[in-house]
Each structure stands twice: as structure tokens, then as C-alpha cells.
Amino acid sequence: MAKIDGSRVLITGASSGIGRATAFELAKRGAILAVTARRSKTLRKVSDEIKDAFPEAQAPLSIPCDISNRGDVGRLVKKCVDYFGGIDILINNAGIGVYGNAEMTTLEDFRSVMEVNFFGSVNCILEVLPCMKEIGKGLIINIASVAALHGVPYMGAYSASKAALVALSQSLRAELAKSGISITIVYPGYTQTDFFKNEKKVGGARRPAGPYAPARKVARAIIKAIESERPDLVLSLGGKALKFSQSLMPWLVERTMQRIAYKLADKKEA
Ligand SMILES: NC(=O)c1ccc[n+]([C@@H]2O[C@H](COP(=O)([O-])OP(=O)(O)OC[C@H]3O[C@@H](n4cnc5c(N)ncnc54)[C@H](OP(=O)(O)O)[C@@H]3O)[C@@H](O)[C@H]2O)c1
């Protein structure tokens, strides 16, 4: 069981949504936090809000960083290590989306999603691993998505980026099995955040109506995953049903995906 109280946690994408909510839940449990994202003002505001909410806790270290830039990530990790003396838990949460038909998605769009969701996490993992190895322990939480369990219609670029993150996590888990460093993969389902406002839309396909979980609920599930050191945590009813059906009735999953693709399609584009 991983201890949160007193642990030094670096969380990416903490300026909004799931990352922000997780930072609050961690602070509440006594974690020593470093929060990062690109928007420095918004990030500082989150850090100040946490400081006000938990005045007895150590104020979060707020470090703006674009995780797709390896040099930036190197400086981020160095600042954390200089300030805290090490990192016990890394939460790779920052992510972006592109929504629309794969055939209308440009190569640049595919690349930009991979740059943040996959290579951004790779950058953080490669920079943090040496510090964790030095102390002989650590926990890396990679926030994937239910869309990584199976390619989802109109989320081709996003699904691929998160599936790549899952595969890397599984490889690392095997390689690091005897190192004291654990890897947890979290697969959130639809969550109420700014993600959908920020994502790039391609073509006219619609998003499903919901349900969307509150970010706080997802954050609490991430806390449970940390405390129990669960290797995999699939969230939402839809996510659990998808995982279950995939192993027993893969044909049903394929048919359901086709039905979803038809239902959400922009009929003018068909
Ligand atoms: N919302 C959902 O339904 C859902 C479902 C499954 C999985 N997820 C995953 O959950 C994670 C959090 O998403 P969210 O829903 O909370 O979305 P969100 O509110 O849009 O948060 C995304 C966070 O990532 C940061 N970010 C984006 N690009 C970055 C970059 N290049 N460098 C550093 N930080 C960057 C953003 O901050 P800045 O803009 O300030 O950089 C923001 O803090 C993502 O990995 C997402 O894929 C979300």
C-alpha cells in the first residue's frame, strides 16, 4: 500500500479537470505537491487555492511546463528534486484530444495528440525514473482512457495515443518488477472537464450525450488506486462493460462500435 501522507508527488495537467481535482485530494491527504501545466497563471491560481484550502499543508510547488518539450521536462524534474530531494509519485495526467473522422484528421493532428499524450508522458517517465531508481522505490500513475481499451469511433488519434501509453506502461511494469517502482494505469470514462471545450473538432460527428462523471469522483478513484497500488483501474460502467465484453464477446464490441459510429456520424458527411 502506497502512503500519500508525506509523499512527494509530481502531477502533470494540474491546471484543470481531473489533474486539478486530484491535486486537491492529494493535498487533503498530506502529499507534498508539485503541480505543472502550460498556463502559468491558471496553475498558480490552483496552487493558491490549495494553499488556502489546506493551510497546514506544505504549499504546492507550481512549475509551468510543456510536457511535450523534453528540455522543459528536464528542468521541471530538476526543480522538484532540488526542492523536495526526490519524487515518490509521478502522475502523468496531462492530455489533449482530437475528435472526428480519422480520414479527415491531418497528420499534424495525429502528431500533436501523440506528442502530448504519449511522448509527453514518455518525457516525464524518462526524467523521473533515475530519481526513483536512486531511492529504490516509486509509483508512476499513467492516466489513459476507456478509449484505450478499444479504438472508439471518431477518437482514432486519441485512442491510439492512449493505447500507446498503456502498452508502454505494461512493458515498464514487467521491466521494473524487481526495482520497487510500480506502474498503475487508470482508464477514466467520460468526465466533466474542459477537455471537450479544448479538443480539436474535425468534421461534424457528434459527441455522445453522457453520462459524464464529476472530476472529483475520478480523482478519488485515482487516490484509491494509489493507496491500493492497483495495477489497473477501469472507471465508469461503460468502461467496465467494454473490458468485460472484449474478453468474452469481442464480436459484440465490434458491432456496438459500428452502431455508435453510425449514430454519432454527421449524416451530411456519410
Ligand atoms: N475528460 C474525460 O472525459 C477524460 C476521459 C478519459 C481520460 N481523460 C484523460 O484525463 C486527463 C486529464 O484530462 P481532463 O479531462 O482533466 O482535461 P482538461 O481539463 O482539459 O485538462 C488537461 C490538462 O492537461 C494540461 N496540458 C495539456 N497539454 C499540455 C502540455 N503540452 N503540457 C503540459 N500540460 C498540458 C492542461 O493544462 P494547460 O492547458 O495549462 O497546459 C490541463 O491541465 C487527460 O490525459 C485525458 O486524456 C479524460
Q: Is residue 95 part of a domain?
A: yes
Q: Is residue 207 part of a domain?
A: yes
Dihedral in degrees, nearest 10, Cα atoms 43, 44, 48, 54: 50
Residue of 12, 15, 43, 198 best suited for mutating to test ligand 1, as the one with most atoms within 8 Å of CB: 15
Question: Which pLDDT does position 154 carry in this prediction?
Answer: 97
The DSSP line for 81-145 is HHHHS--SEEEE-----EEE-GGGS-HHHHHHHIIIIIIIHHHHHHHHHHHHHHHT-EEEEEE--
**Mean of pLDDT values over 131-135:** 96
**Mean of pLDDT values over 78-96:** 98
Across the chain, mean pLDDT equals 96
Q: Is position 158 annotated as part of the catalytic site?
A: yes
Return the DSSP state at 157: H
**Mean of pLDDT values over 240-250:** 94
User: Ligand 1 centroid to 71 CA: how many Å?
Assistant: 20
Kindly list the distances between the CA atom of residue 259 and the CA atoms of 79, 154, 252, 253, in Å, as whole numbers in the listed order. Answer: 49, 13, 10, 10
Q: Is residue 67 part of a domain?
A: yes
- The number of the ligand 1 atom at minimal distance from the alpha carbon of 39 is 40
Question: Which pLDDT does position 179 carry in this prediction?
Answer: 97
CB 21 within 8 A of CB 45: no
Query: How do residues 90-108 score in pLDDT, each as one tens digit?
Result: 999 999 999 999 999 999 9
pLDDT band at 1 (very low <50, low <70, confident <90, very high): low
Query: How do residues 6-17 score in pLDDT, each as one tens digit?
Result: 999 999 999 999
Which residue segment(s) compose the domain that 74 sits in? 8-264
Question: Which pLDDT does position 270 carry in this prediction?
Answer: 64
User: Ligand 1 centroid to 143 CA: how many Å?
Assistant: 10
User: Ligand 1 centroid to 156 CA: how many Å?
Assistant: 17
Number of domains in the chain: 1
CATH number of the domain to which 104 belongs: 3.40.50.720
Residue bearing the CA closest to ligand 1, atom 2: 191
**Mean of pLDDT values over 147-158:** 98
Question: What whole-number percentage of the chain has pLDDT above 70?
Answer: 99
pTM (2 d.p.): 0.97
Q: Is residue 39 part of a domain?
A: yes
Select which of 83, 99, 154, 158 is catalytic.
158
pLDDT band at 178 (very low <50, low <70, confident <90, very high): very high
Q: Is residue 1 part of a domain?
A: no
**Mean of pLDDT values over 226-240:** 94
CB 92 within 8 A of CB 37: no
Cell numbers at 57, concatenated:
499543508
| 16 touches ligand 1 (CB under 6 Å) | yes
Q: Is residue 168 part of a domain?
A: yes
Q: Is residue 270 part of a domain?
A: no
The amino acid present at 119, given as its one-letter code, is F
Q: Is residue 174 part of a domain?
A: yes
